[in-house]
Structure 1
């Protein structure tokens, strides 16, 4: 079942890339393993999946330990991170997708032993239930990060409303793309901002059409689409 689901996802990624005249090599699928046990995550690793994500610190550490023999896996923390837990996880991950405050950035700076690739979380739609900066706040925040040499802003992340129409999805994702390009044009060493983490199981083809470079897929892998 995993093989069939992964094949279906890869076909959808290829089709979306063709539609947008993009290379499939520009899109990385991250397997979000929060709903499965370590044994299933191991099956994915054996199938060649090399990017895995969790939204909770304890679960990420648990799975990383269980899959320690798969040294090529890149680990992504995609959930909101409490400052008191930064020291537990920040040196165990390759990417952090939910940087949403200066205080959190300062705690990461304090605890990190290496440069951390971070995505700034952007709340494009202004939903009260979602974390993240308003789009108009992001560039000022990036300038505030300049003294923090352990933080590298590789891109932006957002989540579209789950029940959004196709038209609204295109709008949300295209707005994040425009913001990413504006930041990239600033040519800041600490914020190259070349990446876009957007799109999940229900909307990743549209996210790819609008420029996603990382898509976060869970349900479609484990339950099918």
Structure 2
């Protein structure tokens, strides 16, 4: 009998495939990041057993013990706000850090990864709507931050990330996604870097994000159901 995890994963993958078909994209070009924050290692294991291999965490203190308890061989992304005093714990643990948004954190990551002989892949989080309650570099400050990060040898700048304003209609987020894509295109030309990653789109608006070029969609609720595990 098909498990609940398998049914949820199939539904989300079906949505991704349909969204790609609608805009003429290859579904293989869209990476599904299963947002496992506030869900336990057993929930991760259940989804991993269905074939999901990439998981996203938002809190270092929750992520590290969960990663140890989860099945081996999974790929982990960090998608939450990373405090500078906790940056050392992220070194060598995440394939991609989606949320770099200031040069001070970049310098800490550069130092820690350089000391460890590692290179950390990062995206820059952009606050395209200027929402005071959200993290992210402003569009006006993006180029300066990107140039600084691109010059740091222990960091690999891969692209941009956005958390758009919340709308009742998922199409309301589309302008934010389009803005991020335009910012990426301009920045890539300026830096002479490919910047292949556009991390945008969640459970409620992934279709609009894919239509605007998302390469990574971050889906939690539609894969795991309501969150029930308190962050540590």
TM-score, length basis structure 2: 0.90
Whole-angstrom CA distance in 2 between matches of 1:193 and 1:215:
16
Match of 1:10 in 2: 13
Residue among 144, 161, 164 paired with 2:165:
161
Q: Aligned pair 1:32/2:35, yes or no?
A: yes
How many correspondences in the alignment?
220
Q: Aligned pair 1:204/2:210, yes or no?
A: no
TM-score, length basis structure 1: 0.93
Residue among 150, 155, 175 paired with 2:154:
150
CA contact (8 A) 1:76 1:95 kept: yes
Q: 1:49 deviation in Å?
A: 0.9
Match of 2:22 in 1: 19
Q: Aligned pair 1:59/2:62, yes or no?
A: yes
Mapping 1:68-83, distance limit 5 Å: 69-71=71-73, 73-83=74-84
CA contact (8 A) 1:52 1:75 kept: yes
Runs (4+) off by over 4 Å = none
Secondary structure in 2 aligned to 1:145? helix
CA contact (8 A) 1:122 1:133 kept: yes
Whole-angstrom CA distance in 2 between matches of 1:21 and 1:175:
20
Whole-angstrom CA distance in 1 between matches of 2:150 and 2:35:
31
Residue among 218, 221, 227 paired with 1:219:
221
Mapping 1:178-193, distance limit 5 Å: 178-188=182-192, 191-193=193-195
Whole-angstrom CA distance in 1 between matches of 2:123 and 2:50:
27
After superposition, the CA RMSD in angstroms is 1.5
Alpha-carbon displacement from aligned partner over 1:52-87 (angstroms, at most 9, x marks no partner): 0110002211121012x422x211110011111111
Secondary structure in 2 aligned to 1:107? helix
What are the ranges of 5 or more consecutive residues in structure 2 without an aligned counterpart?
227-232
CA contact (8 A) 1:153 1:192 kept: no
Alpha-carbon displacement from aligned partner over 1:179-222 (angstroms, at most 9, x marks no partner): 1111222353xx53111000111111110111100000000012
